[in-house]
Amino acid sequence: MSAPIERRSLLPLHLARGGPSWPRILDQIPSPPEELWVLGKAELLGLQPAIAIVGTRSPTEYGRAQAERFGAGLARAGMCVISGLARGIDSAAHRGALGVGGQSLAVLGSAVDMPWPRGPLTDRMAREGLLISEYPPGTGARRHHFPMRNRLISGLADAVLVVEAAHASGSLITARWAADQGRDVYVIPGRVDHPMARGCLRLIREGGTPVGSPEQLLEDLYGFQLAPKTGKVTPTPPGGGAGDLLQALEGETLCVDELAQRLDRRVDGTLGLLVQLELEGWVRRGPGGLYGLHRPLPQGES
């Protein structure tokens, strides 16, 4: 049962759809929420790049270790790790991201001031990460809330990674939302004879991409790899298209969709280039998923 969080100096922030801090990425999904309440580092909301990591509440030790490994590896690469704060895979992914000083966001099936489940990780997420919900303060967790909140987990992310899932796991609901929203679905295959791999194997049969490392996921989704040992990102050369993108951002802040439309490019390609340019210090991302220049363009670039 949900219990009120210790408020200390933390108070929920209310966001209305269309407002200045609203994450525009949610306007792209079916049935977007009209309101959100957040608790914690509100600047994380709508930040891209972001990867959702989901899975069973009853993982194997292997699954738990992989969730933490991917959470840490993706966070080191600058990804915001999104999950649902549930016991098991979700919690391991959050711990992995926070453990390396990374960014993590949890979408709840209750109000942010009545989080479920409660525990040290929940309090840590409210301090170091972000709790988000479409349910107003005082709303406890209800069974029917969780399938609906899953659409926000996938909707806020560029892709969803399923670590371990049984045949009827709720994680498969998140994967279905992701597919409906045009998000990529990645899967850690697991042992073919283990019940917690059945849902993952089913997703692979349905078109999910199997991955074995954070590096492989990053290369497939964004086109760059983590440098071995250091954990730092080694971006591929952005090519001639970077100049046009930087010029489009001069004096403006735009979301990925607006940039792609202005440049007549695919959204995924535009996002991949933005990730590279952000890691190189050319662009910055802010609230609402808006990108802008981080430093002036050299003479001759504008």
pLDDT along the chain (302 residues), means of 10: 48 92 92 96 85 96 95 94 97 97 96 92 96 96 92 96 91 94 92 88 91 90 56 45 85 88 86 76 74 69 45
CA distances to 83, 246, 251, 291 from 295, in Å: 32, 10, 11, 12
Q: What are the residue boundaries of the structural domains of the chain, listed by start?
A: 13-223, 235-293
| Topology classification of domain 235-293 | Arc Repressor Mutant, subunit A (1.10.10)
Please enumerate in sequence order all residues whose Cβ is within 8 A of that of 206, keeping only pairs 6 or more positions apart, or say none.
Answer: none
Reading phi first (left if > 0) and then psi (alpha if -120 to 50, else beta), residue 130 is in beta
- Provide CATH code, domain 13-223: 3.40.50.450
Cβ contacts of 142 within 8 Å, gap of 6 or more: 109, 110
Question: To the nearest 5 percent, what fractions of the chain are helix, strand and coil?
Answer: 40, 15, 45
Q: Which residue shows structure tokens 């802040």?
A: 253
| pLDDT at residue 10 in the model | 65
CATH topology of 13-223 equal to that of 235-293?
no
